[in-house]
Copies of this chain bind each other. A is one copy, B any other.
């Protein structure tokens, strides 16, 4: 079983991705973002996005109730169901789920978040954010063993039934641990991890998992988060992580053939 993570960029081509999955023999479980849609709908509803940076440089979305509502609309509503429809078009019997459905991703809410703003560290107590601590592997296996392809996204849910925003990439690490996954493919809007952000052809072909810390030190924002998630996935036993381009034809098989960045 492969975990396929697809970013939420505007130019991700789900038609290409769905066609590629349809030709694959190994079962795939899918995790997706919806970042572009979230930004777009937030703006159209006149609700500002607030991205906070922890003192250790970790970037996250400040998630109050209004933000959670837009997150539900865009990630689990619009994006998830459009993906399900794309997959169904190619005969893949997709079932869209959030981490709340069937307590798929059970998490703990952070009581306090530290945010660095203009050099000052602030304490935030009302953000509906947290971390995934366990995965309902029974539900994933039930679906996969019966021919369904789970398509998963945020939010997660706490033991008390509270919806929380979590980091998709860290949720993947927990699924690696609890499902014994060996291969993770991550598609986004670049050919792989780039040596030089201004040069799309400067793809780093291979990263030794031992060198992940040095790359984490050199990156920022979303890519840094992605690499932190990858590092955690290796600590839980993943064997290979493939970064690839989600905009091109045959994106998944290209990434698996090593045309992006291979980490192992």
Contact = CB atoms under 8 A, between A and B. Distances in A.
A206 interface: no
Interface stretch (A49-57, A90-98, A115-123, A179-187): A90-98
A139 interface: yes
Q: Is the interface of A mostly helix, strand, loop or mixed?
A: helix
A85 B162 contact: yes
A85 B157 contact: yes
B88 A95 contact: no
Nearest to A97: B95
Contacts of A33: none
Interface stretch (A69-77, A170-178, A227-235, A237-245): A69-77
A161 B94 CA distance: 11
A85 B161 contact: yes
A148 interface: yes
Contact of A78 (B72, B86, B103): B72
Interface residues of A, number: 42
A73 B78 contact: yes
A157 B160 CA distance: 33
A161 B45 contact: no
A102 B161 contact: no
A138 B146 CA distance: 9
A101 interface: yes
B95 A81 contact: no
Nearest to A93: B102
Contact of A100 (B45, B85, B90, B160): B85
16 contacts: A45-B45, A69-B78, A72-B81, A73-B74, A76-B76, A76-B77, A76-B80, A76-B96, A85-B163, A88-B103, A88-B157, A93-B103, A94-B101, A95-B101, A139-B148, A142-B142
Given A93-B103, A138-B146, 16 more contacts: A45-B45, A72-B78, A73-B74, A73-B77, A73-B78, A74-B77, A76-B77, A77-B80, A81-B98, A81-B155, A85-B100, A85-B162, A87-B161, A89-B161, A94-B101, A95-B102
